[in-house]
Amino acid sequence: MSVDMMMVCNGRALVPATEHDYAIMRQTYRIGQVIKTETKRQADRSLQHHRLYFGGLIGLVKDYWEPQTGLVHPAEVRTAASFCHYLQSKGIALSPEQSQALQQDYLQRLTQKRAAKLINPMPASTAEIHRWIKIECGYYDVVRLPDGTIEKKAKSISFAKMTQAEFNEFYRAAFGVCWRFVLSRHFECEADAENAINRMLDMAA
């Protein structure tokens, strides 16, 4: 297990650097338990930027996360598009805008119907959203398992694994993923979402 810690101002305690690290510690150890650790000085990187990702961006995504993601298979998306082409081949005139609207309406109805059957879906955790973001950003290694199947193993973005320049690039990609899949349905523009992220950090300070 690897977590990032920081020394607090009195110099007598180490505390989790982010909410993500805090969650890992709470899940692994009980309060008052004595643990042995090995410390390692990390590369200079902005802790505030690290918090912006875990406490701001992921925190905002958690607020707007909908348990409907993944309820429609990509093959069904392709089928909906093929059906619109089929209608056009039968002489039913559809503009590109009408075809797109028809596909979206069908897929949305299909998604809502399936989501309605979910009983008390569990909200996604910070760790689950974090892994999803890294996979969608392409920040993973491909591992072949003994049974021949392929698994995507998300890489670490810890202070030891990334420079500040690399983290800047990762954050831009992560924000793009969150905007496309979640935040664009709730904010008028990216600037509004970024302002909401900063407000979350201000409230947590």
Question: DSSP per residue over 154-186, as a string?
Answer: EPP-STTT--HHHHHHHHHHHHHHHHHHTGGGT
Q: Cα separation of 86 and 149, whole Å?
A: 35
> How confident is the model over 12-58, as pLDDT tens digits?
666 676 666 677 777 777 777 777 776 665 556 667 777 889 888 99
Let me know: does 16 contact 22? Beta carbons within 8 Å: yes
Let me know: does 171 contact 53? Beta carbons within 8 Å: yes
How many other C-beta atoms are found inside a 10 Å radius of the C-beta of residue 138?
Answer: 10
> How confident is the model over 149-175, as pLDDT tens digits?
888 899 988 877 888 888 899 999 999
